[in-house]
Amino acid sequence: MNYKHDADSFWMPRPCSPIEYGQRVDPDIISWLEPTSDEIDMYAKELDFQLDHRRGQPRYLPARFTQLRNLPASLLHSLDWLDDLGDHFAYRPSPPSNVRSRAPQTYWLDFSQLQLNQYLAILLGSRMKVVRGRCEISLRLGPMFLTQPPCKVLGIYQVNEESVPSDEGICTSLELLHRIQDEGGIKVERLLALDHVASTAMSTWLLASKKLEQRVQTCHWVDSVWHVPGVPKLVLLLHNSAMSETRPDVNWHVTRSQYLSAIGSREEREGEWIPRELMEPAKTTTIRTQIDFCR
């Protein structure tokens, strides 16, 4: 899979606006994920081997190579030969004549031309592969239990900068979004179908991050305003089926309120937004209360 660019670059469209299958590739971005000369040579040898040993078998050639504009002459010859042979159209009784799979333009045709978000690789690991230009995701982990021992109820929370009053009047930074329940034990597949919850958490975070930006510009340095995580987060907490489905319920165990309201130190929270070397150090004197970085 292609991971040439840093995962943080996925906040904005790059290197162009969104594309679709069959759309022409802008000549100005031909260097996007362009393979090296060594990779092109290796692919040319692989193609020659396929032509010699697998003739007559349907094949798909990755567009990352076939849609390059400056291919070596030998590789161009092989691709043109395949076009003339009609091998790209193995399932059609009468292949079109004089068709070139990459001329007069080059096109967006498959996943080999795209860069996949690295966070997907972390989330899905070896279950996601790009094979023959197609992104394949294995679902074999779905039936597996999420934990051992399996848990029957999970609360899905988002971090909310506005304190949410609980049933007992205790404030927490977490807001309950959804509850998952399975008497036989919750499995991984239940967490892979939470798109609606993720979109809610994303919207909440975007709004909160804009407010944080305004506060940082206007507040005194001693004010602890860093209550918004550096990235949108979903937080999983163990739940009980008898708990409230709409509000944080602390009336269960003496530690429940701490479980709900615990947060990192100011230094940890600020560090999600600012490199440590750029943090403003605590002042020795101030007209305001001295800052406590352990809070």
Output the pLDDT for position 288: 55
Share of the chain above pLDDT 70, in %: 74
Output the pLDDT for position 59: 67
Closest by CA to 248, choosing from 163, 147, 150, is 163
Of the ranges 96-105, 208-217, 285-294, which one carries the lowest mean pLDDT score? 285-294
Whether residue 131 has pLDDT greater than 90: no
Could you give the residue ranges of the DSSP H alpha helices within the chain? 37-53, 63-66, 73-85, 118-124, 188-191, 195-218, 256-261, 266-271
Residue 88, φ and ψ in degrees, nearest 5 = -70, -20
Q: What is the mean pLDDT of the chain?
A: 75
Tens digits of per-residue pLDDT, 52-111?
Answer: 766 655 567 788 888 887 788 888 888 877 777 654 444 344 444 555 666 677 888 888
Whether residue 29 has pLDDT greater than 80: no
d(CA 130, CA 147): 29
Exposure of 136 in the CB half-sphere (CA atoms within 13 A): 9
Place of tokens 């059609």: 92
196-120-18 Cα angle (round to 5): 75
Residue type, 80: D
